Amino acid sequence: MKEKNIVFLGAGSIAEAFVKGLIHHDVVTPHRVAMKNHSNHAHLHYLHETYGTSFVEGDQTFQQADIIVLAMKPKDVDCLADIAHLLQPHTMIISILAGVTFEGIEKYVGTRPIARLMPNTSAMLGLSASGAAFNKVVSQEEREQLLTFFRTVGTVEIVDEAHMHAITAIAGSGPAYFYYFVECLEQAGVALGLDAKKGRELIIQSMKGAAAMLEATGEEPSVLRENITSPNGTTFEALEVFRQAQLAQIIQQATEANANRSKTFSELYR
C-alpha cells in the first residue's frame, strides 16, 4: 500500500480522518495522497501543511492513481464521467457515498474493483464502526489491501451490498442517535436540579462503562440490563416508562426510515 497513489475526490472530515489514519498507521506515504475539493481550497492547503498531502494537478494525477476515493456528496457522483477515460484498468474505487450502488458507479467507470464503505464520524478518533461491501471483481489480495485501508479509522464488518442500507441506519448514523440520547438525558438531569456540566460528565462515563462492559463480558445486553434492574426498583420504573412509550418500536421505525432514505438514494443515483 505504501507505494500506491491515492486520490480523494472530496476533502471533508471523513476524508481527513482517512488521511490521518493512513499516515498514522504508516500505510501510505503522504506525498502519494492527492486531494481534490471544489468548495474549500483553503482546506486543501491545511491538509497539505498538516499531513503532507499533495494536490490534484491535471490528468496525470488520475492516470497514475491506484485508488480513487469517492468522498464527495452523492449528488456529485457524475463527476466520474469526466475522469473515467483517464483511469488505468487496475485502478480501484472506494466509495463512502451513502446509497450510491456498485451499479451507479460502474455506469461511469466500467467493471473494475470497487468497494463501498459506510464509516461514521468517530473515524476522526480512529474509532469508527464501518460496514464494507466488495463487488465481484475484487480479488482476495485487493480485498486485504482495502481492509488495511479501512481499518486505519476503526473496525470493519464485511456485508453484502444489499445490507449497506442497514449499515447506514445502524452504524453510519448510530453516533447521532447516541448524541441525541445524551442531549435528552442531560436535559432530564437539569430538570431534576443537576448541574449540566456534572451531568454530562456522568453520562459520558456511564456510556463508556456500559460499552466496556458489553465488550469485556460478551454478555447479551438484555442480561446486563437485567443485572442492574431490581423488581420495582428505580431502574425498573424508568425502563417501564420506556416500554409504555414503545421505545423499541420507535427505534425500529427510526432505523427503517433511515434505511428507506438510503434506498431512495440508491434509486436516484442508479
Q: Annotated binding residue at 72?
A: yes
Alpha-carbon gap, residue 5 to 221, rounded angstroms: 43
- Across the strands, what pairs with 69? 8, 94
Q: For residues 182 and 207, is the Cβ–Cβ distance under 8 A?
A: yes
Q: Annotated binding residue at 213?
A: no
> Among residues 91, 132, 130, which one has the least CA distance to residue 113?
91
3-class state of residue 36 by DSSP = strand
Helices (H), the chain: 13-24, 41-51, 59-63, 102-109, 140-150, 164-167, 174-191, 196-217, 221-227, 234-244, 247-268
Residue 208 makes CB contacts below 8 A (sequence gap 6+) with: none
Amino acid in position 214: L
Binding site, annotated residues for NADP(+): 71-74
Q: Which residues are annotated as part of the binding site?
A: 71-74
